[in-house]
């Protein structure tokens, strides 16, 4: 099978994971073959997700499970993007994270001191908000108090999931 005229025009592709490369636990029909075809034609393929619930390693493992070869270098996550931003602009500051354990790890790896679970949480200099299924009132309270005290509010996206 040859590339479509549109695909032939580009050298690099960024493919969204959730709902595009896979739906639920299944690869989208034809997705592994399409990635192989692009790579076989010398195209660079990367994957992106705005899902903050997992780290890059989890997405790499899932791609392999679905028959798509990938490395950490090939996967861009919202957590990784937030980590990059924070490392460049906020390293050394304190943060409160309304989000998953994966997002808290990204924030800590960016060089911020994560105050979740401490008495100082509401005094963080930065509040990071990312999707979580474990939201509790105390998190909302600490985030709100920190922002009211002047903390910068950074969110990973408007996606309600």
> Tens of pLDDT along 63-102?
999 999 999 999 999 999 999 999 999 999 999 999 999 9
* Average of per-residue pLDDT across 33-42: 95
Please, which pLDDT band fits residue 120 given cuts at 50, 70 and 90? very high
Please check the confidence at residue 159 and state whether its pLDDT lies above 80. no
Of the chain, the percentage scoring pLDDT greater than 70 comes to 97
Question: How far from 20 is each of 16, 27, 48, CA to CA, in Å?
Answer: 6, 8, 10
pLDDT (0 to 100) of residue 6? 86
CB-count exposure of residue 150 (10 Å: 0-12, 13-18, 19+): exposed
pLDDT (0 to 100) of residue 142? 96
Q: Look up the pTM and report it.
A: 0.85
What is the rounded radius of gyration, in angstroms, for the C-alpha atoms of the chain? Answer: 19
Residue 55 near residue 102, CB atoms below 8 Å: yes
pLDDT (0 to 100) of residue 49? 94
- Residue-range domains of the chain with CATH: 5-77 (3.40.50.1000), 79-155 (3.40.50.1000)
Phi, psi of 115 (to 5 degrees): -95, 5
pLDDT (0 to 100) of residue 161? 53
SS3 assignment, position 157: coil
């Amino acid at each position: 099978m040859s590339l479509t005229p549109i695909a032939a025009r580009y050298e690099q592709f960024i493919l969204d994971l959730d709902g595009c490369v896979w739906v639920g636990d299944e690869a989208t029909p034809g997705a592994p073959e399409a990635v192989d075809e692009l790579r076989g034609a010398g195209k660079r393929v990367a994957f992106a997700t705005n899902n903050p619930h997992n780290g890059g390693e989890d997405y790499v493992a899932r791609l392999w499970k679905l028959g798509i070869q990938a490395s950490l270098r090939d996967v861009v996550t919202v957590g990784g993007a937030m980590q990059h931003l924070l490392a460049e602009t906020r390293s050394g500051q304190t943060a409160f994270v309304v989000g998953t354990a994966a997002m808290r790890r990204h924030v800590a790896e960016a060089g911020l001191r994560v105050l979740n679970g401490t008495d100082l949480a509401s005094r963080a200099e930065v509040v990071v908000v990312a999707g979580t299924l474990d939201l509790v009132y105390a998190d909302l309270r600490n985030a709100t108090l920190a922002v009211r005290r002047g903390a910068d509010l950074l969110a990973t996206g408007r996606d309600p999931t």
